Amino acid sequence: MDPYQKVARLLLEHKNISAFTGAGISAESGIPTFRDPGGLWDQFDPDEFGTTGGIIQAALKKPSLIRNFLLQMLDIFEKARPNPGHHGLKSLEDLGLLKTIITQNIDHLHQEAGSSTVIEVHGSLFRGRCLNCGRRQQLNKAELLVRARQFLADEKNFEVGKLVELLPRCPVCNGISRPDVVMFGEPVLQLAEAIAVAEQSDLMLVLGTSGVVYPAAALPCQAYEHNAKIIEINPTGNYYDSISECYIDSPAGAAMPKIIGLLKDLL
Ligand code: NAD
């Protein structure tokens, strides 16, 4: 059977459907993945720029490199909007089919697409966590990007030490709030909730992940062990080959509208 037809039928036959997403679902929004060639991560080693120590080291040794990195990140996030992959998952929720998205992404694009239940196991770039009291606060993305743009504009007077001024203050204790993202080596967030969702799922859509960052990468296996069927959508490989019921070899932004179209015909 055509894999798209099969996925549409599977979606209609199951009741507890979740989605597990990775960097690939945001690739069509212009945010580079870690493992695909080209772009930001060819210039900046994710092993270095993905750890707090690595960033501090780079900032101290080569401030201009950090400024360049932040400017490129800013360009990317100013332009990034949800794409048909994100909107497709929101449509699945609207059709009453999708309950929860577990994402490894930190870009907030599922929420911007309107998805209501999103577990961000690697945190969010647009949420702060107070270094003093631990309180979390949702940040105004547009405001944050404008402040960062103004801060980075002045190349001559750029000082790494002043980067701290960009960080928001905690509304409760006035401590410095760091971006609430999980760097390599730090514990993932909401893991118990994510495992519970995986174990309760009878079907899990896996989109845009190479499945190498643990423990999050184990969630589809945990769902499968609790009898969920796994559907994988990825244009470069069937990374969960041994547990997949169905694999669609396509970018998520092309596959999701086709699946939604078929579902609407079947409903
Ligand atoms: P990854 O970079 O390891 O893998 C991305 C996968 O997506 C690859 O297998 C690739 O083939 C696939 N892909 C590329 N384009 C696609 C598309 N249009 N549709 C569907 N799939 C596509 O990403 P990962 O597995 O998520 O692990 C990397 C870690 O880095 C994650 O923990 C994540 O937190 C972080 N990260 C996040 C973002 C983001 O927030 N957007 C971006 C880069 C990295």
Domain with CATH 3.40.50.1220 in the chain: 3-30+82-122+185-266
- Catalytic residue status for 110: no
pLDDT classification of 98: cutoffs 50, 70, 90: very high
Q: What is the pTM of this model?
A: 0.94
Residue 213, pLDDT score: 92
Residue 51, pLDDT score: 78
Q: Is the CB of 207 under 6 A from ligand 1?
A: yes
Which residues have C-beta within 8 Å of that of residue 19, sequence separation ≥ 6?
89, 92, 98, 100, 101, 102, 204, 205, 206, 207
Rounded Cα–Cα distance for residues 252 and 233 (Å): 6
pLDDT per position as a tens digit, 139-190: 999 999 999 999 888 888 888 888 888 899 999 999 999 999 998 889 999 9
Strand duo 177-181 + 17-21: pairing: unpaired
Residue 69, pLDDT score: 87
Rounded Cα–Cα distance for residues 17 and 256 (Å): 15
Distance 248 CA to ligand 1 centre (A): 16
pLDDT per position as a tens digit, 203-243: 999 999 999 999 999 999 999 999 999 999 999 999 999 99
Which ligand 1 atom is nearest residue 233's CA?
Answer: 20
Nearest to 97 by CA among 204, 196, 253, 247: 204
Residue 50 has pLDDT above 80, yes or no: no
Which ligand 1 atom is nearest residue 182's CA?
Answer: 34
Distance 237 CA to ligand 1 centre (A): 12
Most informative mutation of 34, 73, 103, 118 for ligand 1 (most atoms within 8 A of CB): 34
CATH architecture of 3-30+82-122+185-266: 3-Layer(aba) Sandwich (3.40)
